[in-house]
Amino acid sequence: MDYAKIYQESIRDPEGFWKKQADRLAWHEPPQQILSQDENGFYHWFKGGKLNISYLALDAHVDAGRGDQVAIYYDSPVSNTKTSFTYRQLRDDVTKAAGMLRSLGVGHGDRVVIYMPMIPEAVIAMLACARLGAIHSVVFGGFAANELAIRIDDAEPKAVLTASCGIEFERVIPYQPLVNEALKRANHSPNHVVYVKRPEAEVELQPGRDHDWHELVAKAEPADAVPVDATDPLYILYTSGTTGKPKGVVREGGGYAVALNWSMEAIYDLHPGEVFWTASDVGWVVGHSYIVYAPLIRGCSSVVYEGKPVRTPDAGAFWRVISEYGAKAFFTAPTAFRAVKKEDPEAQHLGKYDISCLKNVFVAGERLDPPTYEWLADTLKRPVIDHWWQTETGWPIVANPMGIEPHAVKSGSATKPVAGYDIRVLDDAGAELPAREQGNLAIKLPLPPGCLPTLWNDDERFRKSYLERFPGFYDTSDGGFIDEDGYVFIMGRVDDVINVAGHRLSTGEMEEVIGDHAAVAECAVVGIHDELKGELPVAFVVLKDGADIEQEQLEKELVKRIRDEIGAIAALRQVAIVQKLPKTRSGKILRKSIRTLAKEDRNSVPTPSTIDDPGSLDEIADAMQNHRIGRYANQ
């Protein structure tokens, strides 16, 4: 097949292109309009069509004779468990779980928050919601109670589905205290909280509100898949924006199913019956799309792994799981491979496993740094495919299409745009830039199927965040350039979002949490390069006049505060007190200069002409040196 032909057709005639892809799925009723716009001018795909994504992911395969094929392998080194579910078993379990939800009063359009570790019930819960046309919102287990509360208040769920605990390496993390704290903080009260009881932690059920998952499921009547509109929301997934309030990305089921099905074939080169392992978490978009929906819609076997790349039990974990289940494709974040490389630089563990099944390795979630790419390519001697996407898009924007016609790789580039994405590089005034000039990466509207149509209950924020800056385009908030051959190079976020170990976090939100401390007058949190995690947040704090607190004590309190309010994944470790933050004369904090100071010597960092007080930059440089931040870390 010819990439150029396919890509051009998708841009020239998006409706024709995506109709062909939609025709390959089992619709209850075919769409009446392939692409439409609502009263806000926002785009929707496949209006009038009716389908059910849980039916496509389960029943359709059982009906087609794949009932005995494994749908998911569950592998949990942290709980010493391995099980698998055939398509028939998974369909039956989802049917019962949907019946359980129905018995709790959950129906079409109702929201359900899922706060679970990587256990099969997390997948079952998502598909059970989809089966009823209820809207799930999965919250990553690493988020603290406050983050869960914020999401509960925004999504207003009828039920919260959770578990008695998560397990981090050997550490059991009881969820009930977190859920109870979140419910105390939230204004909205869900009617029901359902716990999957795990042997590692007890729960005390509050009569009336709290339930035992397995007890309820045992009593439930099976529920069939309800045909829903293609444009009905399938899920809300919250992601970090630039403020303390996360953005509720809405995903509509019809376009998502079509896009994912196409991506499995075209990008991941995966076919029914083959095994796909995505080592991520169902709390992230990568997990939604490539642990749950895409592999199941495509009729593949998906691995649900509750473990880490290292220390569960060793740096051979990835190779073990790939060989044990015969994964043809493996997908994770570069940071996970950096963790493996750090512990086993010679990849000695690899020798213990036969990974001849593995054809392609995919990475995303953050920049693939050249040393990690080279280590992986040398170690595995297979294609290592970087691809760029966002929670908002739900599937890749730029990728090497392994199922079409792979492009030659250029170091530092995720290669070329995926079908349906018309990517342009714009300057700050919105003018298109020539090849190789760096600017803002924007995607010409309409976005292809699967991408967000809006934000949950917040059309205005959707417009402001993504559409207003460059009319006619979706603003990705990533910077980069396109070379003369059409290769796209992603250079990183141009807003205050950072990427810590593949987790997307908002420095603005951290500043709000730090700013609430009684001693803090103002602060700046910036992401600083880290060998393992890609980026780490560091806080520079100005104390209130008269505040009496030692640096060490303040650091301890702020680190705890971020952990308690956002979660351990925010990984704030370093705080430096300064007299003044570098700002422009109009009061804007010069974060870029701070970030550059963490990489370069003060003498080579230009002092912006707009700066209010050049001495403030010198002070930041001194603070970095004193506190061993950034380039001074190992000195």
d(CA 520, CA 286): 37
Q: Is 141 in the site for ligand COA (CB under 6 A)?
A: yes
We find the least distance from the C-beta atom of residue 332 to ligand AMP, in angstroms, to be: 12
Q: Is the Cβ–Cβ distance between 113 and 137 less than 8 Å?
A: yes
Interface residue with ligand AMP among 493, 517, 583, 595 (CB under 6 A) is 493
CB 107 within 8 A of CB 128: no
Burial of residue 189 (CB within 10 Å: 0-12, 13-18, 19+) is: exposed
Query: Using CB under 6 A as the criterion, what x/- string covers residues 151-180 for binding ligand AMP?
Result: ------------------------------
DSSP string covering 453-521: S-BTT-HHHHIIIIISSSTTEEEEEEEEEE-TTS-EEEEEESSSEEEETTEEEEHHHHHHHHHTSTTEE
Residue 471 beta carbon to ligand COA: minimum distance, rounded to whole angstroms: 32
Structure tokens at 459: 């059309």
Question: Could you tell me if 219 and 101 are in contact, meaning their C-beta atoms sit under 8 angstroms apart?
Answer: no
**Token pair belonging to 172:** 């059991």
Distance CA 583, CA 606 (A): 14
Nearer to ligand AMP, 154 or 478 (CB): 478
Out of ligand COA, ligand AMP, none, what residue 285 binds, judged by CB under 5 to 8 A for its kind, is ligand AMP
Per-residue x/- marks for ligand COA, 516-555, CB under 6 A?
----------------------------------------
Helices (H) and strands (E) in the chain, counts: 20, 29
CB of 197 to ligand COA, least distance (A): 18
Contact mark string toward ligand AMP, 409..428, x via CB under 6 A: -----x--------------
The site partner of 386 among ligand AMP, ligand COA, none (C-beta below 5 to 8 Å per kind) is ligand AMP
Name beta bridge partners: 497.
Answer: 506
Residue of 384, 418, 386 lying closest to 401 (CA atoms): 418
By beta-carbon proximity to ligand COA, the closer residue of 332 and 440 is: 332
Establish if 166 lies at the interface with ligand COA (CB under 6 A): yes
Q: Is 568 in the site for ligand COA (CB under 6 A)?
A: yes
For every residue of 115-152, DSSP letters joined together read E--SSHHHHHHHHHHHHHT-EEEE--TTS-HHHHHHHH
Place of tokens 């769920």: 157
Distance between CA atoms of residues 85 and 73, nearest Å: 7
Residue 164's binding partner among ligand AMP, ligand COA, none (Cβ under 5 to 8 angstroms by kind) is none
CA dist 480 and 557 (Å) reads: 37
Q: Which of 52, 332, 440, 616 binds ligand COA (CB under 6 A)?
A: 332
- The interface partner of residue 53, options being ligand COA, ligand AMP, none and the CB cut-off 5 to 8 Å by kind, is none
> Any contact of residue 571 with ligand COA (CB under 6 A)?
yes
For the bound state, the minimum distance from the C-beta of residue 396 to ligand AMP, rounded and expressed in Å, comes to 9
CA-wise closest residue to 394 among 13, 108, 53, 24? 53
Rounded to 5 degrees, what are φ and ψ at 509?
-65, -40
Cα separation of the two ends of the chain = 53
Binding mask 478-517 for ligand COA (x = CB under 6 A): -----------------------xx---------------
Rule CB under 6 A: is residue 478 a binding residue for ligand AMP?
yes
148 binds, among ligand AMP, ligand COA, none (CB under 5 to 8 A by kind): none
Region of 502 on the Ramachandran plot (φ > 0 left; ψ -120 to 50 alpha; else beta): left
Binder of ligand AMP out of 366, 530, 535, 565 (CB under 6 A): 366
Interface residue with ligand AMP among 289, 332, 391, 593 (CB under 6 A) is 391
Residue 501 interacts with which of ligand AMP, ligand COA, none, CB < 5 to 8 Å by class: ligand COA
Question: Smallest distance, Å, CB 196 to ligand COA?
Answer: 15
CA 478, distance to chain mean position in Å, is 15
| 364 counts as binding ligand AMP under rule CB under 6 A | yes
Q: How far is the CB of 357 from ligand AMP (least distance, A)?
A: 24
Nearer to ligand AMP, 301 or 390 (CB): 390
Q: In the block, which residue shows the tokens 């892809």? A: 21
Nearer to ligand AMP (CB atom), residue 144 or residue 364: 364
- Judged by beta carbon distances under 5 to 8 A according to partner kind, the member of ligand COA, ligand AMP, none in contact with residue 332 is ligand COA
Q: Does 387 bind ligand AMP (CB under 6 A)?
A: yes
Q: Which stretch binds ligand AMP (CB under 6 A): 174-182, 321-329, 364-372, 574-582?
A: 364-372
The continuous run of DSSP H or E covering 538 comes out as strand 534-543
Tell me if residue 277 falls in helix, strand or coil: strand
Measuring CA to CA, which residue among 230, 176, 225 is closest to residue 46?
A: 230
Q: State yes or no: residue 386 binds ligand AMP (CB under 6 A).
A: yes
Of 14 and 365, nearer to ligand COA (C-beta) is 365
Q: Can you tell me which of 245, 341, 407, 504 binds ligand AMP, judged by CB under 6 A?
A: 504
For residue 171, the one-letter residue type is: R
Residue range at the interface with ligand COA (CB under 6 A); choices 46-54, 317-325, 331-339, 613-621: 331-339
The yes or no reply on residue 569 touching ligand COA (CB under 6 A) is: yes
The C-alpha atoms of residue 551 and residue 553 are separated, in whole angstroms, by 6
Q: Tell me how far CA of residue 450 lies from CA of 16, 19, 113, 430, 454, in angstroms.
A: 16, 14, 21, 25, 12
Site for ligand COA in 264-293 (CB under 6 A): 280, 284, 286
Residue 388 contact partner, candidates ligand AMP, ligand COA, none, CB within 5 to 8 A by sort of partner: ligand AMP
Binding residues (CB under 6 A) for ligand AMP: these are 239, 285, 364-367, 386-391, 414, 478, 490, 493, 499, 504
Binding residues (CB under 6 A) for ligand COA: these are 141-142, 166, 168, 173, 280, 284, 286, 308-310, 332-333, 335-336, 339, 364-365, 501-502, 568-569, 571
